[in-house]
Amino acid sequence: MAKVARLDRQVSEPAAIAHSVREAALWVLGAMALIMLAALLTYDSRDPGFSSTGDETGIHNQIGSAGAWFADVTYSLFGAPAYLFPAMVMLAGWLVFSARSTPGPLDRTLMVTRFAGFLLALATSCALATLHFETLIMPQSAGGAFGEMIGLTLGRVLGQLGATLLLIALWLAAISLFTGLSWLAVMDHIGRSVLSGLEYIRRVGHMIQERAEARRAQEQRQQIVRIERKKAEKKIKPRIEPVIPVLEQGARVEQERQVHLFDTPASPGELPPLAILDAPPRTWSGLFLRSARGNVAAC
C-alpha cells in the first residue's frame, strides 16, 4: 500500500506542476497580449520609432518607448492587421492553459497548425487591406509593406477581382486553421437562428392578427348590443291581458229566455230570475270597472 501511495504521489506531482505552469503561462501571455494591444491603440506618429525620429514633446504611447517602437514597426510592416499579434499571443496562452490536465508536452501538430494559420491570416489580411482600404494614421498603407508586396503583386497577376476572391478564400481557410472555427458550423448556426427568428416573427404576427380580429368582433358585438338597446327603449311594451274563459250557460238560462204571457207570483223558496243579474265581464278590465261602479253606487 505504501508503494502504491508513493507511485500515485509521483504521478500526481508532475500533473500538479504542469497545471500550475500552464496557468501561470496563461496569465503571462494574457498580460503580454494586453500590453501589445495598448501599444497599438495608443500609437502616435510623433513618437520616435522605426519610421520616424519623433519630436521633442516626449513619448505619447501609454507603454512607453518600447510600445512606441513596437507599434511603429508592426504598423509599418503589417498595417492594421497588426492587431492579429495580440490575438495570437492570447490564443497561445489559452492553448497552453486548456491542456493543463495532461502532464505531457503540448501537441506540436496543433501548435504548428495554429501558427501556420496565423501567418496565412496575417498575409491575406495585409493584402486585402492594401487592395481595398486606405488610412492616414499608418506609417505605410493600410496593409503595410508586407501587404503592398503581396496585394499589389496578386493584383497585377490576377486583377483586382481575381486577387480579392483568392485572398478571401485563403483568409477563410486561415481563420479556420488559426482558431479552429468551422465555417460550415457557423453557417448552420446562422441558418437555424434565421429560421427560428422567422418562425418567432410569424407566431407573433399571427397572435397580433388574432387579437385584432377578436377586438373587431367584440366591437361589432358591442355595437349590435347598443343598437338593440336603443330599439328596445323606443319600442312600446305590449300589454297582455289574461283571457277569461267563456262561461257556459246553464239549462235555467235557456228556460228563462222563454217569455211568459202572464206574470206568475214566485212561490216561496223559489230563486229570483237570472235576468236581474249583470252579465259576466269578458275581460279583467271590465271586471275591475264593474267593481268600481258598484263601489261608487254603494257610496
Provide DSSP, the chain. -HHHHHHHHHHHHHHHHHHHHHHHHHHHHHHHHHHHHHHHHT--TTS-SSS----TT---STTHHHHHHHHHHHHHHH-GGGGHHHHHHHHHHHHHHHTTT--S---HHHHHHHHHHHHHHHHHHHHHHHHH---SSSSS-TTHHHHHHHHHHHHHHHHHHHHHHHHHHHHHHHHHHHH---HHHHHHHHHHHHHHHHHHHHHHHHHHHHHHHHHHHHHHHHHHHHHHHHHHHHSPPPP--PPPPPPPP-HHHHHHTSPPSS--PPPTTPPPPGGGSPPPPSSHHHHHHHHHHHHHHH-
In a domain, 150, yes or no: yes
Stretch among 21-35, 192-206, 276-290 having the lowest mean pLDDT: 276-290
Please state, in angstroms and rounded to a whole number, the distance separating the CA atoms of residues 243 and 118: 108
pLDDT recorded at residue 11? 44
pLDDT recorded at residue 258? 57
In a domain, 165, yes or no: yes
The verdict on pTM exceeding 0.95 is no
State the average pLDDT over residues 236-263: 61
pLDDT recorded at residue 63? 85
pLDDT at 261 over 90: no
User: Of 25 and 153, which is predicted with more confidence?
Assistant: 153
User: Of 203 and 273, which is predicted with more confidence?
Assistant: 203
pLDDT at 7 over 50: no
Confidence category of residue 279, pLDDT binned at 50, 70, 90: low
Please state, in angstroms and rounded to a whole number, the distance separating the CA atoms of residues 85 and 67: 13
In a domain, 277, yes or no: no
Q: In this structure, which amino acid lies at residue 2?
A: A
User: Of 108 and 30, which is predicted with more confidence?
Assistant: 30
- Asked if 26 and 103 count as a contact pair (C-beta separation under 8 A), the reply is no
pLDDT at 3 over 50: no
Q: Which domain holds residue 165?
A: 16-181
- Asked if 98 and 73 count as a contact pair (C-beta separation under 8 A), the reply is no
pLDDT recorded at residue 180? 80
pLDDT recorded at residue 38? 92
pLDDT at 151 over 70: yes
In a domain, 20, yes or no: yes
- Asked if 171 and 151 count as a contact pair (C-beta separation under 8 A), the reply is no
pLDDT recorded at residue 244? 63
Ranked by mean pLDDT, which of 172-186, 238-252, 264-278 comes out on top? 172-186
State the average pLDDT over residues 171-180: 87
Per the structure, how many domains does the chain have?
1
CA angle 80, 85, 75 (to 5 degrees): 35
pLDDT recorded at residue 34? 93
Q: Which residue has the cell 504611447?
A: 61
State the average pLDDT over residues 114-126: 89
In a domain, 171, yes or no: yes
Q: In this structure, which amino acid lies at residue 26?
A: L
In a domain, 168, yes or no: yes
- Asked if 18 and 93 count as a contact pair (C-beta separation under 8 A), the reply is no
Q: In this structure, which amino acid lies at residue 16?
A: A
In a domain, 224, yes or no: no
pLDDT at 241 over 80: no
State the average pLDDT over residues 150-169: 89
In a domain, 295, yes or no: no
Confidence category of residue 94, pLDDT binned at 50, 70, 90: confident
State the average pLDDT over residues 157-176: 90
